Amino acid sequence: MGLIVQKFGGTSVGSPERIMNAAQRVIEEKERGNDIVVVVSAMGKTTDHLVSLAGEISSKPSKREMDMLLTTGEQVTISLLTMALQAQGFDAISYTGWQAGIQTEHIHGNARITGIDSEKIKNQLQKGKIAVVAGFQGFADGSEITTLGRGGSDTTAVALAAALQADKCDIYTDVTGVFTTDPRLVKTARKLDGISYDEMLELANLGAGVLHPRAVEFAKNYGVPLEVRSSLESESGTLIEEETMMEQNLVVRGIAFEDQVSRVTVCGLPNNLLSLSTIFKTLASHGLNVDIIIQSSTDSNTASLSFSVKTGDVAETVDVLEMHQSELGFEKIESENGLSKVSIVGSGMVSNPGVAAEMFHVLAQEGIEVKMVSTSEIKVSTVIGHDDMVKAVEALHDAFELSKQPAPAV
Ligand code: ADP
Ligand code: ASP
Ligand code: MG
């Protein structure tokens, strides 16, 4: 007997039938003698529909009102799932993020959880009830409703698991686990039995949408054992934990990719110590995030600087820099859209210096131009043309033999 947090994503609660199926999953765990907290997303594509509905009313809706709107999605699911459990004779109660005590920063649209007052849920569990909590939402400053960023229900689940010291957090979704790459793109992608927190964090940060990056961060920081598994099939999923004993010797564990990447190049920048920091401070003060950065000296007086940003941020990035052109002192700005980022991730890379070289070799053989590169101990990321993205992922998946089941570690 233990405490389990179960999270069901949008597809897994996308219809009344799916909600009944999720209820069945909850009941199975409850009947094994566990205490259960359930976290749910909005049904199906509800959040996307609400976003486009807002777009029909206003081209720039306020972030506060967007949070008021989007949090209604999860509120529908908590009540329906609770009704489904009650209809099966189980004592269950639903809570919004606020009622569940999920406190966040006062930032609308992408708030971080700052604390959880879990007394109410603990009391209900003690009474034998199943607590059903709305994912993706919290509250700030006593009464302001906030959201955690798209895909944030995973983070609600893991944060609750950490706060309640749950034995386990199960993420039920529409795939059977974490694969070597997105199985919807690469048919030969293979389900992993296990993956380390660090590798999963890199994959999630680099675009593998299967888990919200902050959920993995919480799981790692609080040592919450996570399992990603299917809500429809009963096979076991992928365990995410401190160290994976399986497949330990793998250099590359997975491939992540991200679309809608752009490159901005600032030409003729004064070649002095302060110009870099001034540029990035200016961008940061407008909330603009920069990813890969490359600087090169053109001559002793001038330098050029390239960085990647999300395509949605390009126009604002260029506007902000041009607004400050006289103080920043650069000559001109160029931007290129239609790029993607493809990354290989694996903790075995630390001790294998040839991995980046192998990646570039594979891409060169496919005739793919690499426009930007960034590396860390356990990943290599490349920015390439969007039209080459699928080809690159498939070629790398093949070259690093990711569909082949590796021999178990001894
Ligand atoms: P949910 O609504 O359950 O939160 P998501 O759509 O957020 O589901 O995440 C599941 C999706 O993540 C899958 O349908 C799959 O297309 C995508 N995905 C991307 N990379 C991976 C990966 N490496 N392994 C498994 N799924 C992945
Ligand atoms: N419903 C939210 C979204 O679609 C949160 C989630 O599903 O995790 O982004
Ligand atoms: Mg998700």
pLDDT in tens, 330-357: 999 999 999 999 999 998 888 888 999 9
For residue range 379-392, what is the model confidence (pLDDT) as tens digits?
A: 999 999 999 999 99
Rounded to the nearest angstrom, the distance between the alpha carbon of 229 and the centre of ligand 3 is 12
Q: Which residues contact 134 (CB under 8 A, 6 or more apart)?
A: 39, 40, 71, 74, 75, 77, 78, 94, 95, 96, 97, 100, 156
Q: Is 42 in the pocket of ligand 2 (CB under 6 A)?
A: yes
* Average pLDDT value for residue range 209-215: 97
Q: How many CB atoms lie within 10 A of CB 368?
A: 20
Q: Are strands 302-310 and 293-297 parallel, antiparallel or unpaired?
A: antiparallel
- Report how far ligand 2's centroid is from the alpha carbon of 326 (Å): 42
**For residues 222 and 134, what is the distance between their CA atoms, to the nearest angstrom?**
21
- Output the ligand 1 site: residues, CB below 6 A: 9-12, 41, 151, 173-175, 178-179, 181-184, 208-210, 254
Average pLDDT score over the chain? 94
Percent of the chain at pLDDT exceeding 90: 88
Q: Quick check: 246 pLDDT over 60?
A: no
Ligand 2 centroid vs 63 CA: distance in angstroms?
Answer: 16
Nearest atom in ligand 2 to the alpha carbon of residue 148 is 5
Residue nearest to atom 4 of ligand 1 (CA): 9
Tokens of 379: 């990943």
- The whole model's pTM is what? 0.94
Compute the distance between CA of residue 236 and CA of residue 217 in angstroms, rounded to an integer. 23
User: Minimal CA–CA distance to 294: which of 273, 317, 276, 312?
Assistant: 276
The full DSSP string for 87-124 is HTT--EEEE-TTTTTEEE-S-SSSPPEEEE--HHHHHH
| 8 A C-beta contact, residue 6 and residue 160 | no
pLDDT tens per residue across span 142-155: 999 999 999 999 99
Q: Measured from the CA of 42, which atom of ligand 2 is nearest?
A: 1
Mutate to test the pocket of ligand 1, among 47, 48, 156, 173 (most ligand atoms within 8 A of CB): 173
What is the Å distance from ligand 2's center to 153 Cα? 6
Smallest-distance ligand from the CA of 136? 2
Centroid of ligand 1 to alpha carbon of 89 (angstroms): 33
Instruction: Give me the phi and psi of 51, to 5 degrees please.
Output: -60, -45
Question: Do 36 and 130 form a contact (C-beta atoms < 8 A)?
Answer: yes
Give the Å distance between the CA of 265 and the centre of ligand 1.
33
